[in-house]
Structure 1
């Protein structure tokens, strides 16, 4: 079994374990050749098997040639196990009663390293080097249980085996170590590795990439102990920049030092328990508490307090990964907060948060909350806990809302409103009759249920906020039950807008990924008895008098762009209501519907009239795969066009003018361009 690159520090064991024998074998310089075969050498640190020692020292020569070989070296407490090690070096006296040997050591197909040995009467020094990397081992006869290890630019990967003793899943990929460690192996006492280390450019990951680090720097004091199947570790020091990933939690550490302290223990095959963890990132974040992991490194239990005097850097440093997974990568936050978090069996058990003048802002202008204050308490237990959360104002998809206070209650894993809450918005109010929230647990994601009512909202204010044409009206409605499950928001009930002296109602409303990537909206819209003159004046379409009914069924918007619907609009005769259409409106309809005029007069005379009477107007569009299938009142009855034509405007009176469409399949982007051209007045009539 060839020696892996990560195991090179253990090479010094081969020399250390055989040093006493070297003194005996090399003493009689008259001996020309000395060979020894040792089946097994056992020390407090390692076991060597099938050891071969060969010494060739010519008579009266100033030096001899030493060769040490071992078929297998096993250091279980340090995690090293490898074989076929071969070291050759010239053996010299140092003139002080000691010995020196310096040569290349090889193992399997790995690159050779230089291994140097200085054996004095009261000390032993071993150096392992390759390039700028150097590992030195020092032992004193007066303290035989202690071994001092000095590290200079040692590749982090050399410590893989030792690291695996504490963290089996971790894979050390890059980085260097500097520092000094003391390895103590007293009889009947724990193995101890203690000292200070400086880490630079470190990179590591687990096989499933759930935990990873890149370019990590640190200054750490380490105390690791192991006795039988129990491991103890204490780490105290500073982190100096880099990137860390724990599941979806991504940490971008600043170059300014972050104080870190960890005390941990592991017994047998159980996971690690960290009874004391402390993290100090200046005014940005101070965290203290305990953590407990399962054997596969999954977080099982936690009890933590977190404090921030300045939340501004928190998102970039600690929350960007989690927020990105929820589609909120552009959120910024400011203010201060105190949070206590308790997890049990991998699930949130308690949250107690105090917010101090916190502002949340979405960079994509989906929402904003100003001056969040108060407390927010969540409990999975049977006992109920109350809290109160307030804000000064905010915005949702461009719609401003006012000051509100939310009286909250929690128990049995649910957060709910204690009473109705009205929030000022659009000159009216948005009233929440109930609200219940369950945070993610296990395979189940976030769930919400609520009921709300819209009361006397000003449609004109809404139109201005959404950059719609200016029109007036009120928006009211009730949604007695809405639910958010599996990233899908479904509304029961409907909304009604009193606009243009009629009503527009919305039903079957639902949203997918409302705050995520490519949000999707589905709805059915019904239009009842709108004043066409008011509609056409607001949308600058020309002038049409009459009353309009219609529907937009199976509407589907993806990222706020229409991808499917089945729409139909038609006029409804009403006693006492004139039905007239201006020439500009006629040519706009003909442009949108890809239609032509059919008149009772010569086309050149039609331009002499400002408006015309009509009996009916009707147009439809069914959008599928970016193609709009057009329709009208009925099939036209004029010549060869009858097979494909459809009437949009049915004329009445003199002059009698009708508008007939001939292209039933219209490209949707083209139709959108035509609608835009109508708004600019860039359309020309077509006469037949």
Structure 2
């Protein structure tokens, strides 16, 4: 294979043309068949040149069957360069009004305008041409080339992005999306000469639209302005998104509302097929948040290494735009945030190694009303290889299922896979407090595991029952909470939970809560009821006075959405209680209003003459299934009725129930009506 240099051949031609008297003939034609020309940057096949001299005006043609160039251009065929006007000088060979034609995969040039000159002494070729309309663009390129490389300046606009992305000539990374529309404007300089090797490009993108086949990534009307700079140390990139909207599952962002969204990367380098590293980067979400990243290294979509410092001045927007979609389907997936925060993250080996954060005025509110925090401030420091600490102050507390929580402070010990309360703390609520003695949270592969021990300190029952939508009670609630566990199977109590109320005890057992923060949490429990003081109970309901004590059981109680769906409840006079047993006229009448009847030694007309009555036994039972309660009392009668109050002494009066099947919601409605309405009047 003959190795030659085409430029040297042109030099020979130029010398011949410049020899005095060479143009004596009417016309001169020189044909040079170079064959194959090999250069470090190209490989030309069947290269031919023809030089013409007519009326002392030289011109030439250059053709080649194929030209192999470095990727991404690759193999170019059917090359033809026509130079109708050649400028000759002692050192310079120039071409005016040239035309260039060639074919490459996906591209055809047909007589594209070209001007160039060759400085023989400097060994440099300079060229300029209008953009030949590729990818529907317009503009101009110019530059120069010598043995060390190429210098190119360009100013282009109106490039069609969908055509550009589909062309094999353009090294666009495979992003897995199809570009439907958009235009690109570029201006800058490329230099590949020795010791320079640089690229600077200013770009503007307008009306970009893209999508993928799964519908998980899409954008419309996007406007971007930015700059790419490449040097020996890698790429520097700056981008600003100002218009349009983008969806990248699970996030949606409208740049015109939240922007500008800015991104910059310094010294970005590709280290492998799908690996990149960068010295530092910055991401800015409008005026809402900013993240500074240093020492980054990625593999595919995974961040292998990096130091991240973040600031969020508006947690309300950050929560709605970023946290909410990311946490969808979790307990926090439907929350609204407020306040500000900042922190740092350290990632190594593809894992989070350390994290710290501080918050000011932070709050969140579950939009389903299940929980909320207000005005939290504090800081936390965590490591994956040792202990850490956190301290928080809840300046205005919050609520849990509508139950208010007052202000308190807590200190935590952070472990690599968990957290625990450092010292016992009282959380104010319902005019009392929830005492936290032990609280441990461990992260397991299948979800968190929580252990809790504490106490209930004099909670206000009236506020609690009103908040939960239960029949209103008054008085105080106190008790001890044994070990409580919460994991993937729900919440359960290991042991028995003692609740002291109405001067008696309620012992809860087999307590379990499932889907605690779901749309319809379920609670299963059974209870032993011991010596409840009826006077305090009936005063709480404002039902009318009843004196005495009752005991009983609530078996297989099921609450769905905190409303009873199933239970077997039975309470009656405690046989071992020797105390006073009296029932007021108003209580008798209210029991009658709720569906009972009167039988006794006197008629109802004479009840008004007595303030209260003695009784021997009092009680009722309810087997609830769905919305129907099957009632019974302390004794059954032959006619199918049942006794709710069994009289004792004179005047004797019994309260009898006749309807064994009672609609539970209607019963609760009547009970509330009795409490809220005026007392009955007997005439």
Fold in common (TM above 0.5) = yes
Q: 1 CA distance for matches of 2:561 and 2:295?
A: 40
Aligned counterpart in structure 1 of residue 455 of structure 2, from 453, 456, 479: 453
Contact 1:113–1:128 (CA under 8 A) maintained in structure 2: no
The yes-or-no answer on 1:118 pairing with 2:113 is yes
Q: Give the 5 Å matches for 1:54-203.
A: 97-99=97-99, 117-121=112-116, 122-128=127-133, 134=137, 138=141, 140=143, 142=145, 146=152, 148=154, 150-152=156-158, 154-155=160-161, 158-159=164-165, 168-174=174-180, 176-180=182-186, 186=192, 194-203=200-209
Question: Quick one: which of 646, 656, 661 aligns to 1:659?
Answer: 656
8 Å CA contact retained: 1:478, 1:494: no
Aligned to 2:359: 355
Once the two structures are TM-superposed, the CA of residue 161 in structure 1 deviates from its matched residue by 6.8
Structure 2 CA distance for aligned equivalents of residues 584 and 423 of structure 1: 38
Question: TM-score, normalising length from structure 1?
Answer: 0.70
Shift of 1:304: 0.7
| Rounded Cα–Cα distance in structure 1 between residues aligned with 2:493 and 2:614 | 42
CA deviations 1:636-660 (Å, max 9, x no partner) are 4435xx4xx6555555666554523
Where relative contact order (Cα < 8 A, 6+ residues apart) is larger, the structure is: 1
Q: What is residue 419 of structure 1 aligned with on the other side?
A: 423
Match for residue 414 of structure 2 among 406, 410, 416: 410
C-alpha contact (below 8 Å) 1:613/1:652 kept by paired residues: yes
Q: Secondary structure at the match of 1:315?
A: helix
What's the secondary structure of 1:423's corresponding residue? Answer: strand
Compared with structure 1, are the counterparts of its residues 27 and 558 closer, same or farther at alpha carbon in structure 2 (3 Å cutoff)?
Answer: farther
Q: Distance in 2 between matches of 1:116 and 1:185?
A: 26
Contact 2:572 2:634 in 1 (8 A): no
From 234, 255, 260, the equivalent of 2:263 is 260
**Aligned residue number for residue 393 of structure 2:** 390
- 1:280 corresponds in structure 2 to 284
SS in 1 for 2:535: helix
Q: Indicate the residue corresponding to 2:604 in structure 1.
A: 606
Shift of 1:351: 1.5
Q: What are the equivalent positions in structure 2 for 1:528-567 lying under 5 Å apart?
A: 528-567=530-569
- Contact kept in structure 1, 2:227 and 2:238, CA below 8 Å: yes
Question: How many angstroms apart in 2 are the aligned matches of 1:207 and 1:462?
Answer: 52
- Alpha carbons of structure 1 residues 284 and 336: separation in structure 2 relative to 1, 3 Å: same
Residue 44 of structure 1, aligned match among 64, 70, 85: 70
1:219 to partner: Cα distance = 1.6
Q: 1:460 to 1:636 in 2, by over 3 A?
A: closer
Answer whether contact 1:545 1:578 (CA < 8 A) is retained: yes
Name whichever of 462-471 and 372-381 sits farther off: 462-471
Q: Any gaps of 5 or more consecutive residues in structure 2?
A: 1-41, 54-62, 82-94, 117-126
Q: 1:556 to 1:344 in 2, by over 3 A?
A: farther
Q: Residues 456 and 658 of structure 1: is their aligned pair in 2 closer, same or farther, counting only changes over 3 Å?
A: closer
Q: Structure 1: state its 5+ residue gaps.
A: 1-16, 29-35, 56-94
Partner of 1:375: 379
CA apart distance, 1:276: 1.6
Matched, 1:433 2:437: yes
Distance 1:26 1:614 in 2: 132
> 2:391 aligns to what SS in structure 1?
strand
**What's the secondary structure of 2:536's corresponding residue?**
helix
Q: Contact conserved, 1:632 with 1:647, CA < 8 A, in 2?
A: yes
Does the 8 Å contact 1:285/1:308 carry over to 2? Answer: yes
Q: CA deviation at 1:632?
A: 1.3
Distance 2:580 2:530 in 1: 15
2:630 corresponds in structure 1 to 630
Instruction: Write the distance in 1 (CA, Å) between the matches of 2:461 and 2:206.
Output: 60
* d(CA) in 2 for partners of 1:198, 1:338: 33
SS of match in other structure, 2:539: helix
Mapped to 1, the partners of 2:533 and 2:606 lie a distance apart of: 27
- Aligned-residue CA RMSD in angstroms? 5.1
Instruction: Determine if contact 1:390/1:406 at 8 Å carries over to the other structure.
Output: yes
Tell me, yes or no, if the aligned pair for 1:566 and 1:621 is still in contact at 8 Å.
yes
Residues 1:407 and 1:158: Cα distance change in structure 2 (over 3 Å): same
Instruction: Give the Å deviation of 1:581.
Output: 6.4
Report what 2:12 is aligned to. Answer: none
Report the structure number with the largest CA radius of gyration: 2
**Alpha-carbon distance between aligned partners in 1 of 2:230 and 2:74, rounded to the nearest angstrom:** 24
* Displacement of 1:22: 12
Shift of 1:201: 4.8
SS of 1:313 mapped into structure 2:
helix
| 1:290-301 matched pairs, under 5 angstroms | 290=294, 295-301=299-305
